[in-house]
Amino acid sequence: MAGFFSQLKAGLTKTRQNFVQRVEELLTGRRKIDEELYEELEEVLIGADVGFKTSIELVNHLRQEVKARKISESDQLTGILTEKILEILGEEKPLFFSASGPSIFLVVGVNGVGKTTTIGKLAGRLKKDGKRIILAAGDTFRAAAIDQLEIWGERAGVEVIKQKEGADPAAVAYDAIHAAKSRNVDVVIMDTAGRLHNKVNLMEELRKVKRVIQREIPGAPHEVLLVLDATTGQNALQQAKMFKDVADVTGIILTKLDGTAKGGVVLGIQGEIKIPVKWIGIGEGVDDLRPFVPRDFAAALFDRPEEGIT
């Protein structure tokens, strides 16, 4: 696990430079706490892809604490800001598994975020944890998506339920659930077509898929996981807003955190959208997709390994 912490820390280097170091330079480089300082801090936070609303919230919190604690030195603000960031990140939110019968995970997101690849990696990780997995090729609009999922299924050693290109995704969901029930499978992970907010027909189709799932397994899907690409920064935040209402998203998988300067978007997602980040990707390998542990993320971001995993 210590190796993973080192990898996480290395992956967050650009985010740390674009976010934490710039904040620290601002707050320790001057002594007077005034409105100009607050405005500059807001600019740094927004520029680090924390998001407008969350950035304003963080700065307002500082204002309140400065007044309440009668703080006069700007270098004292770093600790207060860190406390608030940890509060926004919250506690770890593991995936929810059904107590009986198969757990159904519906995976959504726009094209190009690595959705199908993420499904394959998640299947591999859960299988290593002893779960019996079936993948459902619900992105029937692209033959390449079905082929890609089959490749990942082979790599992970799990079965893929599919139909031909252009088939009804709801029918694929039906087949996958019945296969899972008959084979005593623990988890069904279902791919979906990349959806945009202006593709009304695709959104309606997603609702149809969910109706079929709920009819076959009351209370399902147990997770609706939105895959976001961290390198897109504010676009990822906008996608989270878009999917929150139409898909009833329960958790986010944030990919490509390694090597991007836009990792601050985690704060925007947690602070503004109020959807927990449940897993993160910090590399190309199967094992580079991991559960999101806020304490470890913060320790790596602020370069405080003693507070993270050991």
Chain segment 220-251, per-residue pLDDT in tens: 999 999 999 999 998 898 889 888 877 889 99
Domain with CATH 1.20.120.140 in the chain: 2-89
| CATH classification code of 103-305 | 3.40.50.300
* Residue 197 confidence (pLDDT): 52
Q: Is the pLDDT of residue 308 over 60?
A: no
Residue 1 has pLDDT above 90, yes or no: no
pLDDT, position 176: 98
Mean pLDDT (the chain, rounded): 90
pTM: 0.92
| Least confident window among 8-17, 34-43, 52-61 | 8-17
Nearest to 227 by CA among 195, 203, 189, 253: 253
Into which CATH architecture does domain 2-89 fall?
A: Up-down Bundle (1.20)
Please report the pLDDT score of residue 234 as a whole number. 87
Kindly indicate the confidence band of residue 119, based on its pLDDT and cuts at 50, 70 and 90.
very high
Residues of the chain with CATH 3.40.50.300: 103-305
Residue 309 banded pLDDT, cuts 50, 70, 90: very low
Quick: pLDDT tens for 144-190. Answer: 999 999 999 999 999 999 999 999 999 999 999 999 999 999 999 99
Number of CB atoms found within 10 A of residue 172's CB = 24
Q: What is the residue-wise DSSP string for 210-263?
A: HHHHHHHSTT--SEEEEEEEGGGTHHHHHHHHHHHHHH---EEEEE--TT-S-T
Confidence of residue 78 (pLDDT cuts 50, 70, 90): confident
